Amino acid sequence: MPAPQEFLSFVDTNANAFIKRLAEAVAIPSISGDATHRADVVKMGEWLNTHLKAVGVSTQLVDLGKHTMDGEELNLPPAILGRIGDDKSKKTVLIYGHFDVQPANKSDGWNTDPFTLTIDESTGQLIGRGSSDDKGPVLGWLNVLQYHHQQRKALPVNLRFCFEGMEESGSEGLDDLVERESKPGGWFDGVDCVCISDNYWLNTRTPVLTYGLRGLTYLKVTVHGPGRDLHSGVFGRTVYEPMTDLIAIMSKLVDSQGNILIPGVDEMVCAADEEEREIYESLDYSYKDIESAAGGPVALTTDKVDLLMGRMRYPSLSLHGIEGAFSGVGAKTVIPAKVSGKFSIRLVPPQTPEIVDPLVISYIESEFAKLNTKNTLTIENLHGGKPWVADHTHWNFEAAKRATKAVYGQDPDLTREGGSIPVTLTFAESLKVNVLLLPMGRGDDGAHSTNEKLDRSNFIEGTKLLGTYLYELADIQGKK
């Protein structure tokens, strides 16, 4: 069952109204990471709640309690649960999105006011914070719902919604809510599959379905030495210097080519077979895409498959920096007393922080012992999350493939993402159903960067894609 032509026309006809509504949403600076904007996050939740109710969704605001940020105790913005449709003969789809955004200041390098949606008529770009991450996709669902409500058309599936206002700040309180509502009798009881639109195409040309995300383990290695910072003139070559030991340790974690030197970590991941390599081979991508995104000729390889597998299906180890050392401009002759190296490993199945951390810790401890220093070592895990990979042959993905073909006239690329969206795994594990990542925006949207944008065509065709996906879901052979 393809989407009704009437729906597609409705979207085209109402495109300008949809963009106007997106402008309204972007104008609310719902920055979850900034305490002074907490009221705006709440306001944005209320705005969304009002619009959901206006198109026939029954909602419930869920108080997620309090948390501490920058030493201040704050109320968490409520999450919004929504439901529409209870037809036992239809599939039930859970939609997730978030209504908070990353910080943005004109002075960061924005060409326009970040909280005024600016339409660049020449490029078709809708520029503003949250346009692509994640207000555009959330409003895409509103657009789909508006058609059915306004035209009094029944939706082809039952829908459940879960919208949060803390995604950009660790999704505090959400895991508990999802686990609670996934139980029998909970809000998500009876959900057959999940769809999340909160990532991006690999490039600017080809639609994407995403079936994997890397996990993460973030570690802090601290070397403790003298009781206070020392002057290198007075103490140089008389004491064990913590920086020397820390740099020695950090140099043993990863090589310039990206190989992880911790025994057992890279080895834990099986090589890709021919079938899997073909997925990467088929993707519309080139090393020039990564170099253009990175802003420099620094790709590890020109081999497309190796590059894509480096991002999507192999672990990576990045050294982020050092806390406690001299980090300012100029020349300070300090011997820092206590320094902490920060690094993280992106994880892929079967790796988890629980499996990988002990390997890392015992390796670092044994390398540190070889240094024969009188300084001491501590290692902490700052945070982490498991990787996620879904079955991309599932009917949930099949429906999205058909919808993509119908709307864009081309097959979607099947991708895995290098980063993590932790709630994906929570849905997969709590509901034990297939989770699909169905991105609306392009790879160059600049989600967490300056001049974030969503292309007009991605918003409008993306709205058609979301609606069409629901019709294809209803149609496809599968559970229900």
Indicate which residues carry an active-site annotation.
100, 167
* Spatial distance between the Cα atoms of 260 and 209, rounded to a whole number of angstroms: 29
Is 133 labelled a binding residue? yes
* Stretch in the footprint of its own copies (CB under 8 A) among 45-53, 111-119, 128-136, 239-247: 239-247
Closest distance to its own copies from the beta carbon of 137 (Å): 18
The answer to whether residue 323 forms part of the interface with its own copies (CB under 8 A) is yes
Distance of CA 14 to the CA centre of its chain: 29
Q: Answer yes or no whether residue 437 interacts with its own copies by CB under 8 A.
A: no
Q: Is 134 or 417 the residue whose CB approaches Zn ion more closely?
A: 134
For residues 454 and 126, the answer to whether their CB atoms sit within 8 Å is yes
Q: Choose from Zn ion, its own copies, none: what does 129 bind? Cβ within 5-8 Å by kind.
A: none
Q: Which of the ranges 26-34, 54-62, 373-381, 399-407 carries the binding residues for its own copies, by CB under 8 A? A: 373-381
Q: Using CB under 8 A, which residues numbered 165 to 224 contact its own copies? A: 214, 216, 218, 220
Out of 6, 108, 255, 267, point to the residue binding its own copies (CB under 8 A): 255
- Report the C-alpha gap between 114 and 110 in whole angstroms: 7
Q: Which amino acid is at 268?
A: M
- The beta strands (E) that lie in 302-389 are given as 316-323, 334-335, 338-347, 376-385, 388-389
Structure tokens at 298: 């620094």
Residue 221 host element (H or E): strand 215-224
Instruction: Please give the radius of gyration of the chain, using alpha carbons only, rounded to the nearest integer.
Output: 24
CB of 4 to its own copies, least distance (A): 37
Count of residues that interact with its own copies, criterion CB under 8 A: 83
Which lies closer to its own copies via its Cβ, residue 89 or residue 257? 257
Confirm if 340 and 221 have CB atoms less than 8 A apart: yes
Tell me: is residue 346 an annotated ligand-binding position: yes
Place of tokens 């879960």: 162
- Residue 265: both structure tokens together: 């970590």
Please answer whether residues 91 and 155 qualify as being in contact, where contact means their C-beta atoms are separated by less than 8 angstroms: no
Provide, rounded to whole angstroms, the least separation between the CB of residue 339 and its own copies.
8
The residues binding Zn ion (CB under 5 A) are 133-134, 198
Which of Zn ion, its own copies, none is residue 391 near (CB under 5 to 8 Å by kind)? none
Site for its own copies in 129-148 (CB under 8 A): none
On whether the CB atoms of residues 82 and 98 are closer than 8 A, the answer is: no
- Check the annotation: does 168 bind a ligand: yes
Find out whether 394 is annotated in a ligand binding site: no
Residue pair 381/218 in contact (Cβ under 8 Å)? The answer is yes
CB of 305 to its own copies, least distance (A): 12
133 binds, among its own copies, Zn ion, none (CB under 5 to 8 A by kind): Zn ion
Instruction: Tell me: is residue 176 an annotated ligand-binding position.
Output: no
Binding positions for its own copies, 40-69, rule CB under 8 A: none
**Site membership for its own copies, residue 270 (CB under 8 A):** no
Cα distances from 319 to residues 218, 229, 343, 419, in angstroms, run: 10, 24, 4, 16
User: Does 313 appear as a known binding residue?
Assistant: no
Indicate if the alpha-carbon torsion angle 417, 422, 427, 430 is positive or negative: positive
Closest approach of its own copies to the CB of residue 462, in Å: 20
Whether 198 has a binding-site annotation, put simply, is: yes
Q: Are 175 and 423 in contact (CB under 8 A)?
A: yes
Element spanning 220, H or E:
strand 215-224
Return phi, psi of residue 16, to 5°: -65, -35
Q: What is the 3-state secondary structure (H, E, C) of 122-141?
A: CCCEEECCCHHHHHHHHHHH
Question: Is residue 247 within the footprint of its own copies (CB under 8 A)?
Answer: yes
Instruction: From the list Zn ion, its own copies, none, pick the one residue 305 interacts with, judged by a Cβ distance below 5 to 8 Å according to partner type.
Output: none
- The HSE-up count of residue 353 (CA atoms within 13 Å, CB side) is 13
Nearer CB in complex with its own copies: 39/334: 334
Instruction: Kindly identify the residues of this chain, within the stretch 328-347, that bind its own copies according to CB under 8 A.
Output: 328-337, 342, 344, 346
Q: Would you count residue 89 as binding its own copies (CB under 8 A)?
A: no
Q: Is 424 assigned a ligand-binding role in the annotation?
A: no
Residues annotated within the binding site for substrate are: 198, 231, 333, 346, 420, 448
Give the residue numbers of the binding site for Mn(2+). Answer: 98, 133, 168, 198, 448
